[in-house]
Copies of this chain bind each other. A is one copy, B any other.
Amino acid sequence: MSKEVPSISEAEWEVMNVLWKKSPLTANEVISSLQEQTDWKPKTVRTLLDRLTKKKVVGVNKDQKVYTFFPNYSQDDCQRAEAQSFINRIYGGTVKSLLVQFIQEESLSEEDIKELRSILDKQPNK
């Protein structure tokens, strides 16, 4: 399942995050949303949208005169792809070292810890 996800650059991720929160959106809606968090010019956001479209990471609905944009991949799939390559690069492919570092690093809430523990308990320890 879930075809190879094309690579998504750092700036493009911001755009994707907006579209995953809600879609379809017009370019202007994406622009507005991003203007709260970044200082990108509208044209910049538009360029990012166009590049994502060309890469097929984003789809376009051209029925209306003003196009609307939507993700072609689930956030989960993209996160997975990105995290996998990240871990290979940075942690020599072993996810455990990353987990260890982050569990120690971040002060996780009690809730978080409980949840993680329960997930661990459900792991098929082959």
A-side interface residues toward B, CB under 8 Å? 10, 13-14, 17, 76, 78-80, 82-83, 86-87, 89-92, 95-96, 98-110, 112-113, 115-117, 119-120, 123-126
Contact = CB atoms under 8 A, between A and B. Distances in A.
Label chain A's interface by main secondary structure.
helix
A59 B116 CA distance: 40
A5 B17 CA distance: 26
Given A99-B116, A117-B117, A125 B104 contact: no
A83 B103 contact: no
B125 A96 contact: no
Contacts of A82: 86, 90
B98 A83 contact: yes
6 contacts: A83-B98, A86-B90, A96-B115, A103-B119, A109-B126, A113-B120
A116 B107 contact: no
Nearest to A9: B89
Given A17-B92, A125-B109, A100 B116 contact: yes
